[in-house]
Amino acid sequence: MSNRTAHSEYGTLESVFIKRAADAFVNDDHLSNTWQELNYLGKPDLKIANQEYESFEDVLKKNGARIFHLPQNTNVNMDSIYCRDASIATDFGMIICNMGKVGRRNEPAAERSAYDKEGITILGEIKSPGTIEGGDVAWLDTKTIAVGLTYRTNREGIDQLKNLLEPNGINVIGVPLPHYKGPSDVFHLMSILSPVDKDLAVVYSPLMPISFRNDLLNRGFKLVEVPDNEFDSMGCNVLALASRVCLMVKGNHETKSRLEAQGCKVIEYQGQEISVKGGGGPTCLTRPIWRKV
């Protein structure tokens, strides 16, 4: 019998929150005023972005996910399209994050308002000086959650997360990540890790701590290695719609081939405007709530 849980990155996606490009990007003036200060690679083309997002959302629908839409909110900016970052889903309720990126500080409150409207339980929130972003958080199994220590997620934030989850029997593993391109870059744990089954994960090993990589191997994970030339195009950012059913940005041909060699079904979407320019792939574009495993 299938079990319903929020403690999975690979189970069949049952319900998910998303924020449409039309509601995050708003209009051309909003994009012009914010894309540079938020360190996008370029200003998104709004018309194409909306088309890309419609196709992206259609994939989620066709694969059976119940979709909840985060509304347009004047207190947040275009980065709110990457809605995973503002909260963490658990079986005990949502944890509201405190963002490490200053320009995104209003997003957690906006998401909490949406959860309250849907009657979703709130377990707790990360408070200053603690910071944590959902892109730094990944479930390895139903009792183990890995959290990247990055420029976006600090030790105080991880300690607060432990205080919320450890009393409920959850093991929280801190994963110190390298400087890489520095504080202004979008570099989360899930930039280098995407579990797509209980024993299969997509990884970019050159930026992965040796101890954590060994821990994955010791836990029985087989690692699908992303080649160097597909890291910046988000080959490592893969959303599991179900066990070994993978959604990824179009164009990462070698990673796709390596996933298929492991028996995965790979679905691609065109994401130049909604993903590549902002550094946010399909895991970033979604806040999964419930999965079946």
pLDDT at res. 186: 85
User: Mean pLDDT per segment of 10 residues, for the chain of length 293 residues?
Assistant: 88 98 98 95 97 98 97 97 98 98 96 97 98 98 98 98 98 97 91 98 98 98 98 96 98 98 98 96 98 96
User: For the residues of 243-281, what is the DSSP string, one character each?
Assistant: TTEEEEETT-HHHHHHHHHTT-EEEEE--IIIIITTT--
pLDDT at res. 1: 42
Residue 214 backbone dihedrals phi, psi, to 5 degrees = -65, -35
pTM tops 0.75 = yes
State which CATH number among 1.20.1180.10, 3.75.10.10, 3.40.50.2300, 3.40.50.720 fits the domain covering 4-292: 3.75.10.10
Where do the structural domains in the chain lie, given as residue ranges?
Answer: 4-292
Would you say 207 and 148 are in contact if contact means Cβ atoms under 8 Å apart?
no
Residues 251-284 as b or e (16 or more Cβ within 10 Å = b): bbeebbebbeeeebebbbbbbbbbbbbbbbbbbb
Would you say 78 and 38 are in contact if contact means Cβ atoms under 8 Å apart?
yes
Q: Rounded to whole angstroms, what are the CA distances from 253 to 14, 143, 154, 272? A: 28, 33, 35, 15
pLDDT at res. 2: 58
